[in-house]
Amino acid sequence: MIGRALNGRYELGEILGVGGMATVYRGVDRQLGRPVAVKVLNGGLADDPRFAERFTLEAQHAAILVHPRIVTVFDSGVDQGFPYIVMELVHGRPLSHLIAESGVLPVERAVGIASAVLEALEAAHGQDLVHRDIKPGNIMITADGGVKVVDFGIARAGSSAGNLTQTAAVVGTANYLSPEQATASALDGRADLYAVGCVLMEMLTGAPPFTADTPVAIAFKHVSEYPVPVSVRRPDIPPALDAAILRLLAKNPADRPNDAGRARAELLGAVPGGAAADRTSELLGAATQLLPPVTPPPGFPQAAPAQPYVENNRTSLLPSLPSMDRAEAYEDREPARDRNPMLLAGIGAAVLAVIVAVAAFALTGGGSQARKSPAAAPAASSAPAASAEPSASPSAAPSPTASASASPSAGAKANPAGQIAQLRAAVAQTDVHRERDRQEDLLRVLDEATRDVAARRNDAAADALKDAQRIVADLSKKRAVDKGTASAWQNKLGSLINTLRDGND
């Protein structure tokens, strides 16, 4: 395609990026003499009416959105059977490149980027459009540090009776898929807010909330598991920001902010300092320094030519998970007594692997063994979840003696969601002999408390933790856990309950 002029007007140059549906070229508009980006549907997909329809809808949707945070669409057409879209040429790179290069981003920059994306979504939602595929690959970071959202290819009009997602398939990217998308349920703009929460967590920790070997397994986790608070991996996160991210990642859309504007206000309010009228630009500007070019000395090796960007987390068709009524999907349910304990052990393994090192330290109260390796906590806070998994081992579980020495104040300065996640990790790793059902009950109750904390329902969270205390007492009575471990857990739960009650005063 390089060198070809689509309909005699748009001359294609180098490839800028390759995605699951299309390839983006640097181009020139011969008629107006300006540089443009030209997105061409990949060969073979143009013959599939589903993809051709999505491509056409992308042009139509983006054309009605005029906003500085959204890439502008100039034109669209078909040349010899190849649909194409002509857009403004953004001088920058995808956020996914920045994350891959940096690992984790500073808090201010990550919140600034998320806030800018929410500005774009506020404009889109105002036109009754749900993007449905917010991810780092669809967020462009410009050369001057700005942010632009791209790819409205699977966006859907909220009031449209028909949509591109059928009950047999889900269109999206598994790592950033909201629970309602994964089950092909009715959705609105709050599905995009969930995706922003996933992206923000990835910017701050280097990994999205859930990972697994297959897209379907990841989608299942979005529906069935609760995310580990960011503070477990990044202790420098302000508690208010930690809670705001968990709100975005709430399973029930009703527990998320009502709209993009409110979500943006919560994120900006969670970052200390600054009184500028435009806090988003302030945060982005503070994190971006424009430096003059440096002339390399004679004989300095030339940089390799830039390679086209290839999107790894590609938009794809996924089978939908079993559909559930909203009440059934999100209401609290009585614990199941007949579940397979091996299945329970598998569910949540990825989450536990990430937080095991931090949990061991927190629940030992900073014992002598933990003090021997002070670098362990920073490493856990900056490494992606995938790289943290191999380092987890059964030996990281707190010993009964160490657990008994845990002080209720050991994690007092941490936020409640982080403390609950640390306690959950210790509970999940403890051998409870033949009381696996009660262990499952305890884990379920701790998950409920985490959800309530994220939704700012402190009284409900405290009540759930009281239920957890009763279960721990029962486990101790049945000698499923030793007295030292049970005492440490009870102290931790009591401290958490007091913290939550004090937060309501």
Domain ranges of the chain: 5-88, 92-155+168-285+313-318, 337-503
Phi-psi region of 74 (alpha: psi -120 to 50; beta: other; left: phi over 0): alpha
Of 69-78, 276-285, 460-469, the one with minimum mean pLDDT is 276-285
Other residues' Cβ atoms within 10 Å of the Cβ of residue 259: 18
Q: Are 20 and 315 in contact (CB under 8 A)?
A: yes
Quickly state the pLDDT bin for 274 (edges 50, 70, 90).
low
pTM (two decimals): 0.61
Q: Which pLDDT belongs to residue 81? A: 81
For the stretch 193-235, pLDDT in tens is 999 999 999 999 999 999 988 888 898 899 988 898 998 888 8
Residue appearing with tokens 């991810």: 135
Q: Which pLDDT belongs to residue 308? A: 53
The CATH homologous superfamily for domain 92-155+168-285+313-318 is Transferase(Phosphotransferase) domain 1 (1.10.510.10)
Q: Which pLDDT belongs to residue 421? A: 77
Among the options 133, 151, 242, 441, which is catalytic?
Answer: 133
**Whether the predicted pLDDT of 255 surpasses 50:** yes
End-to-end C-alpha distance for the chain, whole angstroms: 66
Q: Which pLDDT belongs to residue 399? A: 37
For the four alpha carbons of 157, 159, 165 and 170, in that order, the dihedral sign comes to positive
% of the chain at pLDDT higher than 90: 30
Q: Is 136 exposed, middle or buried (0-12, 13-18, 19+ CB in 10 A)?
A: buried
Residue appearing with tokens 């920790």: 205
CATH of domain 5-88: 3.30.200.20
**Whether the predicted pLDDT of 402 surpasses 70:** no
Q: Which pLDDT belongs to residue 271? A: 87
For the stretch 420-454, pLDDT in tens is 877 887 887 788 877 888 888 898 888 888 878 87
Instruction: State the chain's mean pLDDT as an integer.
Output: 74
Q: Which residues of 276-291 are buried (b: 16+ CB within 10 A; e: fewer)?
A: eeebbbbbbbbbeeee
**Mean pLDDT, range 320-347, rounded to an integer:** 42
Residue 407 to residue 280: CA distance in whole angstroms: 40
User: Which residues make up each annotated binding site for ATP?
Assistant: 39
**Whether the predicted pLDDT of 489 surpasses 50:** yes
Q: Which of 121-130, 269-278, 349-358, 384-393 has the highest mean pLDDT?
A: 121-130
Q: Minimal CA–CA distance to 13: which of 203, 30, 466?
A: 30
**Mean pLDDT, range 359-379, rounded to an integer:** 37
Q: Which pLDDT belongs to residue 213? A: 87
* Secondary structure in 3-state letters for 280-337: HHHHHHHCCCCCCCCCCCCCCCCCCCCCCEECCCCCEEECCCCCCCHHHHHCCCCCCC
Backbone phi, psi, residue 460, to 5°: -65, -40
For the stretch 151-180, pLDDT in tens is 875 555 544 433 333 334 566 788 999 999
474 has catalytic annotation: no
3-state secondary structure of 243: helix
Q: Which pLDDT belongs to residue 505? A: 60
Crossing angle (nearest 10°) for helices 260-269 and 190-205: 30
Q: Are 364 and 324 in contact (CB under 8 A)?
A: no
User: Which residues make up each annotated binding site?
Assistant: 39
For the stretch 413-422, pLDDT in tens is 457 887 887 7
